[in-house]
Structure 1
Amino acid sequence: MADIKNIFWSVLFGGAVMGGLYGAPAYAAADDDQALMERGAYLATAGDCVACHTRPGGKPFAGGLEIATPKGAVVSTNITPDPQSGIGAYTLEDFEKALRRGVRKDGAYLYPVMPYVSYAGLTDQDVKALYTWFMHGVQPVAEKPPETQMAFPGNIRMSMMAWNMLAESETPETGDSSAYDKLRRGHYLATALEHCGTCHTPRNFMLVEQQDQYLAGSQLNGWFAPNITPSNTAGIGDWSEDDLVAYLKTGHAKGRSQAAGPMGEAVEHSTSHLTDEDLHALAAFIKQVPVHDDAAEPQARDSFGKAVSEPDLRSGIVHRVDDLNTLSGAELYDANCAACHGPNGAGTADQYVPSLYTNSVVGSGRPDNLIMTILEGVDRNTPSGHVNMPSFGSHSDVQRLSDEEIAKLVNYLTARFGSGDHHVTAEQVADKRQPPPVPAVAQDAAKPAPSDHP
């Protein structure tokens, strides 16, 4: 990185010296290049590129993360400027084709886990800014992730041509995106950069986003990306713009919801780093998209429950760990949750530990996210601080709670504080209990594997 940056800034400095001999324009050019770099870095953050292109414990943008799909795992690619393992040999035209059209330098089609149908909406100016930053602001890494192995017909990349014809790509925007008015800027952020619909819009049997159900909610690897349309029952119609901005900035909207799982990652790596102006633009746009109601959500998710008035559940009886499977839901709550969330479910006074009533996760008509939160916990870092809730299931060295126990606990929580007993079964929990993600191990750069980078 240092060598690349030194070369880059040497060029700029050399231009500045020549400007002293021949006039001011070279200084202006240097300023323009610096501005383009800064713009590219911000756009890459808004696009959340690092989330998919960095494996756990890996180097930024070096790829190797396995992304689950119905046809198998797609291994994310190295998008550092290394010329052999990454995109260092890409021209601006090559970069644009991969980013907006899903076609890599050798002409092969990318898999649509890369949200090129959304990035298609980027302006030419912003594509150039991203290219400049990736080429000169990112540390090159000489690691080539393993080749993606997909089941038939996904292993035939030409099949993506047919998928692309069915998918509705965004239309490229024009002009200076930083000068758009509030709603146009919000639309640009939501549809192109943040690609909100990738997770929150349901898909048809061909896995194409159903645009007539934009942001109406969708299943996502065990989680449920909820309806975020302005529906007063199924969506976030009762949220103010400031509520949504607080959520996107910190991962927490008091008395409403908190981010975990994939949304926690989006907040951590992307939205918490946006300017307040952009966050308000994004929130304002989302607040005015078409409303979609849902029979499974007849009441606002954050409107359920109140603090329980009964005395502390603690009975004074010490339970052996190997007796936990005999505990009721209330006793499981007392043993595992009450110390943080309180015996009455109110959480802490500052809501660092949120209340379990007026809580969108507990009040949802679908228990998916409550199950997943208990299984996987919460680990979210933003500029406003670190939030952590331990995992009680899938990623623990010792399985702390069984499927049966988590089912009992979920049913107790939703009956006591939320939308009612959902009669979750141990089998439902088992279906969501996933092994820890296995990062694809980069191969020795001296022994290059077949390339799957864009």
Structure 2
Amino acid sequence: MPDMKKFVGSFLIGGAVLSGAGLYAAHAAENEQDITARGAYLATAADCIACHTRPGGKPFAGGLKIATPQGDVISTNITPDREHGIGDYTEADFEKALRHGVRKDGAYLYPVMPYVSYAGMTDQDIKALYAWFMHAVRPVAEKPPATQLSFPGNIRASMMAWNLLAGSEKQETGDSASYDKLRRGHYLATALEHCGTCHTPRNFMLVEKQDQYLAGAALDGWYAPNITPSETGGIGDWSEDDLVTYLKTGRIKGRSQAAGPMAEAVEHSTSHLTDEDLHALAAFIKQVPSHEDDKDHKARDSFGKAADNPDLRSGTLTRIDNLSEKSGAEIYDGNCAACHGQDGKGTANQYVPSLYSNSVVGSERPDNLIMTIVYGVDRTTPSDHASMPGFGYRSDVQRLSNDEIARLVNYVTATFGSGDHHITSEQVAKARTDHLEKMVSHVIVKTSGKSE
């Protein structure tokens, strides 16, 4: 509450003070603005836009396909449109959906909506989030297609049993903005950013294994790595400042750069958090129980050195009709060396990162390296933009075959990372999923990422 003398003084107009009724209205408007601004920040921290905006679509209008073992769940319109969105939701309806996964009509939501995590939000924050969605988001009169899953997922009532097995975060109380550092970090990680949704492995019922919190999990072709403080399998060699820099920019020299789903999380969410919140989040992650990894037994960013290879280019033009005969080194030379260098050092400012001391190249799991080569990197934060072309496609045309990508991955990991993993074209084919539409529309999503 502001000092009353200063508050009244700020409304002096021509020597006259606003009436008591005017003061009350102005103060109420100020409170409403504060609540709405808080809601906007919470929506960013919760990364609502990531799932509720389809490629090329309008913000929060839904339509994004989210893959599950029983089919695609299609995200819903959560704009305040009364017919197609949540415009007729009361605050109680909103809270029930957010914390308990139950829609206004009583139907159960699928747990791709992280209500298990959002259950931990405070009443105050849910109120602010509701105010923002209802008063600051533009309504969109679009109805996404209905989700059609195979049995038993097509029976929404089956989610009752799943909810009992999964449990949920314990609801926090009080003003979350006033929490001490570790409590605030816990709140951000579990209730808002829902880090465990991607980074925690799941059992056969797709319930998070809480005894392996943040120990790493497969994610639609990518792999959300172990981010516990393990010195070998996790990020125990990262400092709190390292983690803050990564969450804020998507990059940390000599360690890693964000791509795929993590790049989206950085772009739309963590890069917009305050430094205080980023330090709280990092401090909490740094003190969760450490878990060793079943494959990574050495810090992923500790592998490799600059290559001391002769330049493969002869200076003469040689016609090669059958590209499948090219070695991994030749594929690297023709597609990667211009940016990453023959020695793999990258650029001096590390805009193009080195390929050694690189957690993606040093991982025993090649998933993220394969996906990065296929789909590239396109990440924008308030501080900069990072871009790498995808070599799986060029416009609508395949650029490198599965076999070429496999040989390239094996060369890169053998030369700069954790060794030749003997990746096959079949493994690359399996890792590829239909993300072409998403790639083509990604710029549109970025430019329409704010509510209007």
On whether the aligned pair clears a TM of 0.5, the verdict is yes
**Partner amino acid, structure 1, of 2:28:** A
* Correspondence 1:420 to 2:419: yes
| Distance apart, 1:319 and its partner CA | 5.0
Any idea what the Cα deviations from partners look like across 1:133-179, whole Å, max 9, x if unmatched?
00000000000001001011100000111100000200110000000
Which position in structure 2 is the counterpart of 1:376? 375
Question: For 1:31-64, what per-residue CA distance to the aligned partner results, in whole angstroms no more than 9, with x for missing partners?
Answer: 1111000000000000000011001111000001
1:19 Cα offset (Å): 7.1
- Give the conservation status (yes or no) of the 8 Å contact 1:394–1:436: no
Q: Whole-Å Cα distance in 2 between the matches of residues 144 and 370 of structure 1? A: 37
Distance 1:79 1:322, change over 3 A: farther
In structure 2, C-alpha distance between the alignment counterparts of 1:366 and 1:393, rounded to whole Å: 19
- One-letter identity of the residue aligned with 1:116: Y
Q: In 2, distance between residues paired with 1:132 and 1:247?
A: 31
SS of the aligned residue for 2:322 comes to helix
Give the aligned residue type for 1:199: C
Describe the shift of the 1:20–1:99 C-alpha distance in structure 2 as closer, same or farther (beyond 3 A): same
Q: CA RMSD in A?
A: 1.4
Q: Which residues of 2 match residues 376-395 of structure 1 at below 5 A?
A: 376-393=375-392
Deviations 1:246-298 (A, max 9, x none): 11001001100000000000000000000010001000000000000013111
State the match for 1:191 in structure 2. 190
Residue by residue over 1:342-362, the C-alpha shift from the partner in whole angstroms, topping out at 9 and shown as x without a partner, is: 010000000000000000000
Q: Is the 8 A contact 1:256 1:359 kept in 2?
A: yes
Task: Assess, with a 3 A threshold, how the Cα gap between structure 1 residues 320 and 241 changes in structure 2: closer, same or farther.
Answer: farther
Q: What residue number does 1:93 align with?
A: 92
Deviation at 1:22, TM superposition (A): 3.0
Distance in 1 of aligned mates of 2:276 and 2:385? 24
How far apart in 1 are the matches of 2:138 and 2:146? Answer: 22
Confirm or deny that 1:82 pairs with 2:99: no
Structure-1 separation of matches of 2:31 and 2:347: 49
Runs of 5+ unmatched residues, structure 2: 1-16, 439-452
Q: Specify every segment of 5 or more residues in structure 1 that has no aligned partner in the other structure, as ranges.
A: 1-17, 440-454
Q: TM-score, normalised by structure 2?
A: 0.91
Give me the whole-angstrom Cα distance separating, in 2, the residues matched to 1:368 and 1:174: 40
Find the aligned partners of 1:169 and 1:437 in 2 and give their Cα distance: 35
Quick one: distance in 1 between partners of 2:317 and 2:84?
57
Cα offset, 1:408, TM superposition: 0.5
1:360-407 Cα offsets, whole Å, 9 max, x none, are 000001111000101111111111111111111157411111111111
* 1:251 alignment partner in structure 2: 250
**Counterpart amino acid of residue 258 in structure 2:** A
| Displacement of 1:435 | 1.9
- Structure 1 residue 312, shift from structure 2 partner: 2.2
CA distance in 1, matches of 2:152, 2:321: 47
Q: Offset at 1:28?
A: 1.9
Distance of 1:343 and 1:239 partners within structure 2: 28
Given that residues 37 and 137 in structure 1 are in contact (C-alpha distance below 8 angstroms), is that contact kept between their aligned partners in structure 2?
yes
Decide whether the 8 Å contact of 1:395 with 1:436 is kept in 2. no
Residues 98-141 of structure 1: CA deviation (Å, up to 9, x unaligned): 00100000000000000000000000000000000000000000
Determine if the alignment matches structure 1 residue 70 to structure 2 residue 94. no
Code of the residue aligned with 1:379 in structure 2: it is D
Give distance in 2, aligned partners of 1:92 and 1:266: 27
1:394–1:345 Cα change, 3 Å: same
- For residues 105 and 395 of structure 1, the distance between their equivalents in structure 2, rounded to whole angstroms, comes to 44
Aligned to 1:280: 279
TM-score (norm. length: structure 1): 0.91
Aligned-partner residue type, residue 75 of structure 1: I
Partners of 2:103 and 2:321 lie apart in 1 by: 55
Could you tell me whether the CA contact under 8 Å between 1:312 and 1:344 is conserved in 2?
no
| Contact 2:393–2:400 under 8 Å retained in 1 | no
Answer yes or no: is the 8 Å Cα contact 1:394–1:435 preserved in 2.
no
Q: Call closer, same or farther: CA 1:318–1:158 in 2, change over 3 Å.
A: farther
Percent of aligned positions that are identical: 75
Question: Do 2:377 and 2:388's aligned partners in 1 also have CA atoms closer than 8 Å?
Answer: yes
In 1, the alpha carbon distance for the partners of 2:320 and 2:284 equals 50
* Displacement of 1:438: 5.5
Please list the CA deviations of residues 223-247 of structure 1 after superposition, one character each: whole Å capped at 9, or x if unmatched: 0000000000000000011110111
Look up the SS of the partner of 1:294 in the other structure.
Answer: coil
Aligned residues: 422
- Which residues in structure 2 correspond to 1:43-122 (within 5 Å)? 43-122=42-121
Kindly provide the amino acid, as one letter, of the partner of residue 340 in structure 1. Answer: C
Distance in 2, Cα, partners of 1:70 & 1:437? 21
- Structure 2: distance between partners of 1:31 and 1:217: 44
Q: Give the match for residue 156 of structure 1.
A: 155
Q: Secondary structure at the match of 1:74?
A: strand
Q: Indicate the SS of the match to 1:313.
A: coil
Decide whether aligned partners of structure 1 residues 347 and 155 sit closer, same or farther in structure 2, where only a CA change above 3 A counts.
Answer: same
